[in-house]
Copies of this chain bind each other. A is one copy, B any other.
Amino acid sequence: MNSIFTRRSVRSFLPKEVEAEKIEKLLQAAMQAPSAMNQQPWEFIVVRGAENLEKLSHFHVYATSMVGADFAIIVLCNNERLKSPLAWQQDLGAATQNLLVEATELGLGTVWFGTAPHQPRMDYVREFCDLPEHMVPYSVIAGGYPKDPDANHFKNRFDPSRVRYITE
């Protein structure tokens, strides 16, 4: 079964460093996402080090599980790249999801912390990273090797009542 089906939100991690090649592979996967008018508005900041992660974790009331993660990746929109401005949240949603699925593929666990459009969270991340005005924090992902080796597993969410067919 492929990783789309086994990805879960993972919040407990081993104290084991994720290889730099794997981090880069996650970023590669994110950048393969489709985007409106192929605008590819994304930029990424990789945060590592226990002190940095502890400080960043305060951006979101439910992000305490970032303490103990091996890395965080902040997904940003570069407003100067926008050709189809209304689509930025969709583009970055696709990029973020690619990153999460690829992490599962590589044996990693991740959790997606919603950031935009909640202004206090965005402001905290902006200050943490010292971002210029045209860079907008969209999502923050924490990750690492999962403590539970079965953390990513299939849980069936299929609900046929959500589907309608138009065939005639």
Contacts and interface: CB of A to CB of B under 8 A. Distances in A.
Interface in A80-102: 84, 86-87, 89-94, 96-98, 100-102
Contacts of A94: 93-94, 96-97, 100
Interface in A132-157: 139, 157
A2 B104 CA distance: 12
Contacts of A97: 33-34, 93-94, 97-98
Interface string A154-166: 0001110011111
A63 interface: no
Nearest to A139: B90
Contacts of A107: none
A48 B162 contact: no
Nearest to A2: B105
A137 to B, nearest CB: 13
A24 B162 CA distance: 12
A158 B48 contact: no
Interface of A: 2-5, 7, 9, 24, 27-29, 31-34, 36, 40, 42-49, 52, 84, 86-87, 89-94, 96-98, 100-102, 105, 112, 114, 117-118, 129, 139, 157-159, 162-168
15 contacts: A4-B32, A4-B105, A28-B157, A28-B158, A34-B112, A44-B163, A46-B166, A47-B165, A47-B167, A48-B165, A86-B117, A89-B93, A90-B92, A92-B93, A94-B100
